[in-house]
Every structure is written in structure tokens, then in C-alpha cells.
């Protein structure tokens, strides 16, 4: 299989240069045709009126129409080859670089593209491949790379977890004292050369060594207390080889992403950071160095350590989520250095308030010096949608409030122009009108909803009975066996199923035909579960496009895009709804479908809902009121749905809170407040149900051990939680003496890998769970929903899961 090293390929005709469509009409005068210009030419036949200091931290890699997703999945399915995949990838990179260059961006990033994940790319660059993948030396190819990301028939994938407090997932490096590092991927250098061949001078971006090490975990067999920073001496020589290659290729800048600096690092970790960059100083000679931080304020001690580095030319800060960093800058900024001011939000889709941002930039320029401020994004634009130009169905008013990645590039350039004294009055005027429209629009505010939320804050909304008593009442009604089996909710979303939903949405089929088609799919899923011997069933969610969008489409205050896709991991993309106003539930959302499914079986059928915190965290939330206010509005809407499901005879209701941990603030001082309102919001949804109604919740792909007490405080009857891909990390908290009296189902196999575990392997996992959990509370289930898998994989894996549960049940009876 092919190497990750880039090949020279011709761009596909299906992805042309897109300059005219990416810029608003008011921006067109920034460019002069090559034939009529009189100034020094830029690279692509255009001349800029004036050079500005602007920078983009990173850019979405999936493509405006998810081109990378489809290319990856076609490659994985064996329908296309390496050349096809690399052609699509090269075309996407070229389009991105040209867009930024043509928009006037001065500091354009490279090596922010990835076939799967930037942390995995760094692991590959360092040759830190776990031995189970069979790699020994040479340039790492796609076979090893994708095996680490997805697993294969023989070995499981590496762990995947959330990237800080975002919905993006990274592949966690597995390190230890015996890891032998080597320069095993030249991707960073190859991408720089590729851009240079197009006439574009880029800033190669690397994950900084301290962030890389502190986000790693001990490899299997390595003591959990192993200090990752002890490996710094081993990885710095590899970084130095990369620097030498970049300098030889003509690089003048390099960007290190060190978001770990916004965390609460201790003195030893900060010293390791300072020492690492001091030791790299000589090898960085000849390069301008930018260190980018993002996602939060930089603590005072980290700011001091960072700005004391002599080898650094510029410092990048998130000034959207890190407003307190401005106070640190005011208190002292190193003379002669560049401030990369992240004033354009990289994590949301709201248009920047250009006038307000310009005032901020001007005040910063007064502090750090004229021409020392570089206008930038708050973080990589990876976390926002790609291009608003593709949204033809959004109404004009709402669209005037928004900016996707392509438009944020234009915003950065417009602010840089204005800061340099060349203000685009027409653009600023249009922006100001959009800001005013949003503030005054009657569709944003609902006084009744705000009154309801104010009343909600006066109670903590706990169920009146302890969980132990509720579980007894539920068992009398449900009569479940020991180690009950269930799945998380979704079943495979086939091409036919997606086609049916598309045709219904396009009004090509009638309501009656659509309901009948979904009913047939329900019957298939129910029959399969009954044949497999699953105890608590799900209907498979055939009627749902996405676990958040499905609900948002039925709630007021939400809007939806056609192509607002954001990468979650690998080829998996999500299309977050936009919460623009106060939220209400006009009518029941799931009762019809859940009732239909329950009538198909005598087994308990779960009513499936997405919880308020997850809907909030997986949406582009409004930024004009506190997040908890919006969350409580959603909670009240979900509460109405829970009670309607109960009235319809649904006795098991799952309220997923997969994103609870994701929203946890990065700084410890802010975490208690978030957990208080997030847990409260969940309790609101089910506080008034009967004791005999069993409330489940589900969480996945985050580190939950540090918030286990808040999870207990949610007071759910049963929690299912990802466990297997993270090597049973969750179980360690129970080894440490935490008592959990409610039902709990740590996942027994990883659903994000095509690998099918054996019954014996699953049985071994269940026995590990029984070593720390009572069999009376233990459930058996996969890590997560089955939406992304194929039916043959699902049948085999669930069959083995049920067989393992039955085996352990029989052993429990004997004992």
C-alpha cells in the first residue's frame, strides 16, 4: 500500500479554483487582473493593493462537499486505489492554499491537512508505531497508518479521545521507555514543497513536542505513572531532522501548536516546555518561530514561560475564549515580537463583529507596537463548517449573521487591511447591519421560554426515590436476566435508507410511503435483535439523519445547513445545527416512532433521546447569552418528550449525554460551575417520571474518570459508557474504591473498528468488569452506536456479545 509521502498529482476537474465564489462582492476590488496591474505580482495572476499581516491557524481538510470522506471510504472499501486517494487529497490541499493566498493571507499554514488525524500524523513522523502493527523501519505507509487509526482483522485500533474540549477526536499515542523513535514520515516537508511548487510560501505546522507528549498515554505494560516528558530527549532529535529538511526546502517560518499551555500545568511541566524550546534554539536558527495556543486563556505562569523564549518570533493567542490573556498582554509583552491575535472565532459560525474586533486589535497595537499585530483566527478552522456559499436554503437574514471557514478567511484579511489603514467601508457596513439585525430580530427571543428557565433555577430537580429502590421496582416490571444485553441505539445506515430519507425530504415520496419504508427497517432491526437474543431492544433510528440534527429540526430556535459538515474523526463528519434563538418543543418528536417499534416486540424497547448538554455541545450554539441558559431551554423541551414517551407506555428511556465531558472547561477553576449546570440540565429532563420507568444515559470517547462523581450525581438508573477502545481505563476508577450503585454498562467492544471480537475476548472483558462491579448492576453492550458499521459486522459482533453474556451468566449460576 502507498506511502504517506506526497506524490505529484493533477488536481481533479471536479474541484476547481474557487476564488470568485469565496469572496463577497464587496471584496472583489481587493484584486487587480494580471494584465492591468502595475505593482509587484503575487503568485496566481493577481496583485494585492497592499500587503497585510494576516494568519490562519489551520483549515478544514474534509472539503466543501466532504470530498475527503468519500475518497477515504472508497479507498477503505477497495473500490479505488492509492493514486485516487492521493489525487483527491492533493486537490483539496491546493484549493485551500490558493483560496488563502488569493484572499490575501500572509501566513498560510501547511501540514494541517491529514488523512485521518494530526496527532496520528505526528506519531507517524516520530516513528512511534506500537509493535502490534508490525512496522519496523522505512517510510510509514497507508497500511500501517490506517491500521493504527481503525484496527484491522488481527489487531485493534489505538485509543481515540476528544481533542481538548471539542468534538474532534484524536488518536492517542502509546509511549513508554522502550519506544525507539525515528524520522518515519516526511509529510510536513512534502506538503511544504507541494505548496511551494504552486508558488505559495507556507508556514509548516507541527504539533509541539510538549503537547504531543502530555496528550500521550503509557503503552500496554508500561506503568501508569510513567512520565511522558522523560521522552523529550528522544523526540527532539527527530524534530531537528524535520527542521533541517524544511530549511533545505526553503521554509522561512514554522508554527508549533502547543494548546497544552492553556491547561493547568505544574512547575515541572512548564520547565520542561522552556527547556525543550531552549534546546531546539540552535536547530531552529534560520527559521521564524510561531508558537500557537488556543481554546482558552493562557495561565499567567505559562504566559511567562512562553513569552520568555528567545527563539520565538511570534506568539499566538485565542482572544475569543481567552479574553483574560489580553490582561497579561497589557501587563507585558516582549519587545519586538509579533502578536498573532486570534480575534476571529475558529469554533463557531457567527460572523465576526468587525468593528469590535478592530477596536481590540488597535488597542493591542498600542501595547505591542505598530506593525507587530498579526490578525489571526482563535484556533484552527477545522472546527467550523467549510463554506457558506454552498448554503442555498438558509434565509437571507440568518445567512447575514453567519461566517464559515471560507468567510472567516475573508474576515481575517478585512481586519488586517483595516488595521493597516485600508478599511473596506462597504464590507464593514454590511457586517454592522448583520450584527444589528441579529440583535433586534424577533425570531431570537421568546419571553415565555426565558421565564420558564428562570423558574427552573429554583429547584435541583432530583427524583424523589433513591436509585436502589427504583432499580428494584424496575426489575419487577422488566424481569431482566443477570447481565442484561442491549445496544446503544443506532443500527447501520445503509445506502437505501439514506436514499429513502433524501427522497422524503425532497418530497419525492409520500408520508405514507415513507412511514411504511421506515417501518420495514424497524421490523428488520427488531427481528435481528430478537434472533440474536438481545434483552432490551432499540429501534435502530432509521428515521434519524443525526442524533442532534433530528431533534433540532423539530425544535424552535434551530436552523440547519445543507453542507455545514465538520470532521469528528477520520471520515466521520457531523453537521451541527445552528441554535440562533430561544428553544421550545412545538410537538412530540419521537413518540410516534417509539410506539410503533414497541408494538413489534414483547421485549422492552428503548425510547431514544439526545440529552440537552449533548445537543448544546454538538451544535453551533448562540453566543449572545450564557450557554447554560440555552441548555436549560433544551432540557425543558426534552423533559416534555420524556413524559410523553412514558405516557405512551415506553418503560425504558435513554437520554444520551455523549458530550457531557466534552464541554468541561479546560481550566480547573471553571469546571465546577459547568458540571453543576450540566448535571442539573440532565436531571430536569427526567425528574418527574415514575420509579418504574428506567432512565438510561450514554457517554463515549472521553476521559470520564475525573468527573465520575458528577456522573453519579446525574442519578440515571443505567449508564452505558465507552470502555473497550480505551483499554478499560474506566474500570480503574472502580479499582480505586468508587462505589456505583446504579446500573452500568462499560462497552465490551469497539464499534469504530471493522474488527470483530470473539466471544472469548468479550467474556474476558466482562470478567474484568465483574472484578470491580456487582453482577446485579452490570449491563453488556457495545462501546457506542452501530450507525457506521455494516450489517455483517454487526451481526457477528452482537452474536459474540450475547454468547459471552450467556457464558458468564451460566458461570455465575454455578458459583
**Does any domain span residue 729?**
yes
pLDDT at 727: 63
**Does any domain span residue 510?**
no
**Does any domain span residue 797?**
yes
Residue stretches of the chain with pLDDT short of 70: 1-52, 701-703, 725-730, 735, 737
pLDDT at 14: 36
φ, ψ of residue 30 to 5 degrees: the values are -70, -15
**Does any domain span residue 305?**
no
pLDDT at 546: 87
pLDDT at 460: 77
Query: By residue range, what is the domain housing residue 610?
Result: 467-493+532-812
pTM across the whole model? 0.89
**Does any domain span residue 637?**
yes
**Does any domain span residue 708?**
yes
Question: What is the number of domains present in the chain?
Answer: 1
Identify which of 546, 542, 555, 427 has the alpha carbon closest to the alpha carbon of residue 495.
542
pLDDT at 3: 54
Active site residue 55: no
User: If you ran DSSP here, which 8-state letter would residue 602 be given?
Assistant: S
Burial 588-622 (b: 16+ CB within 10 A, else e): bbbbebbbbbbebbebbbbbbbbbbbbbbbbbbbb
pLDDT at 269: 98
Question: Based on the number of CB atoms within 10 Å of its own CB, is 447 exposed (0-12), middle (13-18) or buried (19 or more)?
Answer: exposed
pLDDT at 70: 98
pLDDT at 52: 67
The CATH number assigned to the domain holding 543 equals 3.20.20.210
Burial 549-579 (b: 16+ CB within 10 A, else e): bbbbbbbbbbbbbebbbbbbbbbebbbbbbb
The continuous run of DSSP H or E covering 214 comes out as helix 209-214
**Does any domain span residue 134?**
no
pLDDT at 632: 97
Q: State how far the Cα of 329 lies from the Cα of 772, in Å rounded to an integer.
A: 50
pLDDT at 32: 25
**Does any domain span residue 207?**
no
Q: State how far the Cα of 166 lies from the Cα of 811, in Å rounded to an integer.
A: 42
Amino acid at each position: 500500500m502507498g506511502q504517506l509521502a506526497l506524490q505529484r498529482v493533477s488536481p481533479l476537474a471536479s474541484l476547481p479554483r474557487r476564488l470568485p465564489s469565496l469572496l463577497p462582492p464587496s471584496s472583489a476590488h481587493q484584486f487587480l487582473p494580471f494584465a492591468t496591474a502595475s505593482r509587484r505580482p503575487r503568485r496566481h495572476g493577481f496583485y494585492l493593493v497592499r500587503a497585510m499581516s494576516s494568519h490562519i491557524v489551520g483549515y478544514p481538510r474534509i472539503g466543501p462537499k466532504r470530498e475527503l470522506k468519500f475518497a477515504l471510504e472508497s479507498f477503505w472499501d477497495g473500490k479505488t486505489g492509492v493514486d485516487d486517494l492521493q489525487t483527491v487529497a492533493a486537490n483539496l490541499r491546493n484549493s485551500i492554499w490558493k483560496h488563502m493566498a488569493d484572499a490575501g493571507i500572509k501566513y498560510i499554514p501547511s501540514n494541517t491537512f491529514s488523512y485521518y488525524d494530526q496527532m496520528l500524523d505526528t506519531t507517524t513522523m516520530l516513528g512511534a508505531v506500537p509493535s502490534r502493527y508490525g512496522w519496523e523501519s522505512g517510510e510509514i505507509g497507508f497500511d500501517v497508518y490506517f491500521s493504527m487509526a481503525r484496527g484491522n482483522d488481527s489487531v485493534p485500533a489505538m485509543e481515540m479521545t476528544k481533542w481538548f474540549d471539542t468534538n474532534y477526536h484524536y488518536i492517542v499515542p502509546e509511549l513508554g521507555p522502550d519506544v525507539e523513535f525515528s524520522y518515519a514520515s516526511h509529510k510536513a516537508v512534502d506538503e511544504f514543497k507541494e505548496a511551494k511548487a504552486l508558488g505559495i510560501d507556507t508556514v509548516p505546522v507541527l504539533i509541539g513536542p510538549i503537547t504531543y507528549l502530555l496528550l500521550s498515554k503509557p503503552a500496554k505494560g508500561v506503568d501508569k505513572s510513567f512520565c511522558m516528558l522523560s521522552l523529550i530527549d528522544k523526540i527532539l532529535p527527530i524534530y531537528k531532522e524535520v527542521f533541517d529538511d524544511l530549511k533545505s526546502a526553503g521554509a522561512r517560518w514554522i508554527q508549533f501548536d502547543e494548546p497544552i499551555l492553556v491547561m493547568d500545568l505544574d512547575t515541572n511541566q512548564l520547565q520542561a516546555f522552556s527547556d525543550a524550546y531552549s534546546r531546539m534554539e540552535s536547530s531552529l536558527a534560520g527559521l521564524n518561530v510561531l508558537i500557537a495556543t488556543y481554546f482558552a486563556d493562557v495561565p499567567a505562569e505559562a504566559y511567562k514561560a512562553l513569552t520568555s523564549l528567545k527563539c520565538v518570533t511570534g506568539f499566538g493567542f485565542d482572544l475569543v475564549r481567552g479574553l483574560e490573556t489580553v490582561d497579561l498582554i497589557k501587563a507585558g509583552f516582549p519587545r519586538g515580537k509579533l502578536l498573532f491575535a486570534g480575534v476571529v472565532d475558529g469554533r463557531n459560525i457567527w460572523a465576526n463583529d468587525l468593528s469590535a474586533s478592530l477596536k481590540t486589535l488597535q488597542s493591542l497595537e498600542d501595547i505591542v507596537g505598530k506593525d507587530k499585530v498579526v490578525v489571526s483566527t482563535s484556533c484552527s478552522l477545522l472546527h467550523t463548517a467549510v463554506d457558506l456559499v454552498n448554503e442555498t436554503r438558509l434565509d437571507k437574514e440568518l445567512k447575514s449573521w453567519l461566517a464559515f471557514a471560507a468567510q472567516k478567511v475573508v474576515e481575517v484579511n478585512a481586519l488586517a487591511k483595516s488595521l493597516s489603514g485600508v478599511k473596506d467601508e462597504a464590507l464593514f457596513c454590511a457586517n454592522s447591519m448583520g450584527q444589528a439585525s441579529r440583535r433586534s430580530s424577533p425570531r431570537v427571543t421568546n419571553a415565555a421560554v426565558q421565564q420558564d428557565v428562570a423558574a427552573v433555577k429554583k429547584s435541583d430537580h432530583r427524583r424523589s426515590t433513591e436509585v436502589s429502590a427504583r432499580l428494584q421496582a424496575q426489575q419487577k416490571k422488566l424481569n431482566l436476566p443477570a447481565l442484561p444485553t442491549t445496544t446503544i441505539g443506532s443500527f447501520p445506515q445503509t445506502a437505501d435508507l439514506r436514499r429513502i430519507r433524501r427522497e422524503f425530504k425532497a418530497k419525492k415520496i409520500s408520508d405514507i410511503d415513507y412511514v411504511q419504508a421506515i417501518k420495514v427497517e424497524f421490523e428488520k432491526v427488531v427481528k435481528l435483535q430478537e434472533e440474536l437474543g438481545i434483552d432490551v431492544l432499540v429501534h435502530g433510528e432509521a428515521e434519524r439523519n443525526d442524533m442532534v440534527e433530528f431533534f433540532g429540526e423539530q425544535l424552535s430556535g434551530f436552523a440547519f445547513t445543507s453542507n455545514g459538515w465538520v470532521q469528528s474523526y477520520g471520515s466521520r463528519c457531523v453537521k451541527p445545527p445552528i441554535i440562533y434563538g430561544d428553544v421550545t418543543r412545538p410537538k412530540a418528536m419521537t413518540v410516534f416512532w417509539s410506539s410503533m417499534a414497541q408494538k413489534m416486540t414483547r421485549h422492552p424497547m428503548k425510547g431514544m433521546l439526545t440529552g440537552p448538554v449533548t445537543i448544546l455541545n454538538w451544535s453551533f450554539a448562540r453566543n449572545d447569552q450564557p450557554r447554560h441558559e440555552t441548555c436549560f431551554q433544551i432540557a425543558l423541551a426534552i423533559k416534555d418528550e420524556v413524559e410523553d414517551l412514558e405516557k405512551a407506555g415506553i418503560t425504558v428511556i435513554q437520554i444520551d449525554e455523549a458530550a457531557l465531558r466534552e464541554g468541561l472547561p479546560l481550566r480547573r477553576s471553571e469546571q465546577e460551575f459547568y458540571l453543576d449546570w450540566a448535571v442539573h440540565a440532565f436531571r430536569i429532563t427526567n425528574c418527574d417520571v415514575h420509579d418504574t420507568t428506567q432512565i438510561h444515559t450514554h457517554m463515549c470517547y472521553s476521559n470520564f474518570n475525573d468527573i465520575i462523581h458528577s456522573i453519579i450525581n446525574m442519578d440515571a438508573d443505567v449508564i452505558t459508557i465507552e470502555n473497550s477502545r480505551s483499554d478499560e481505563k474506566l474500570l480503574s476508577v472502580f479499582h480505586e474504591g468508587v462505589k456505583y450503585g446504579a446500573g452500568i454498562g462499560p462497552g465490551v467492544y469497539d464499534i469504530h473498528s471493522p474488527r470483530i471480537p470473539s466471544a472469548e475476548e468479550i467474556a474476558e472483558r466482562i470478567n474484568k468488569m465483574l472484578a470491580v462491579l456487582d453482577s446485579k448492576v452490570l449491563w453488556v453492550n457495545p462501546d457506542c452506536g452501530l450507525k457506521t458499521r455494516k450489517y455483517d459486522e454487526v451481526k457477528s459482533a452482537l452474536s459474540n456479545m450475547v454468547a459471552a453474556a450467556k457464558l458468564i451468566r451460566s458461570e455465575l449460576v454455578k458459583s
